[in-house]
Amino acid sequence: MMMPLIARANPCAIDGQSALAFAIVAFWALVIESGIAGLILVSSGVMLLPLFGTLLIGNLIIFLFGFLPLTGDVSLWFLEPGVVMVDALLIKIIAAAPFVQGGGFVGVSARRAIVASLLGNVASYFIGVIASSSPWIDHGNSGLE
């Protein structure tokens, strides 16, 4: 239970010193991201648990096969907005699936999907920055040059 509190790693700036710490921080960042996006969409009538689980799997796939491979080649100024838009598209697709729709489902607008994706990704990014142990110091390899 204490592992997320003692981990020191940044999912955006992997230094190779601790793969375990990176995995822990990345996992919790994805959980927080999916949780925030799910909570934002609950008022649309989606069922939280199926949506959260599906978003977690989808965000993991985006992170492993989209974000991580591109972090060394693309600046975060371009990569992060792209991830937010891909994640918003994922949210729209998942919300259209019948197994996440509750009885009072009213639909998920593109704007709500983008806001949910943006807020989830911002929280996910800051989890990584805070877990890097000194977020107020520019370590020089964050990719925001």
What is the pLDDT at residue 131? 76
User: pLDDT by residue for the chain (145 residues), tens digit each?
Assistant: 444 555 555 555 555 556 777 788 888 889 999 999 999 999 999 999 999 999 999 999 999 998 888 888 888 888 889 999 999 999 999 999 999 999 899 999 999 999 999 999 999 888 877 776 544 444 555 544 4
Alpha helices in the chain (DSSP H): 3-6, 19-41, 48-62, 68-70, 76-95, 110-131
Place of tokens 């989808």: 58
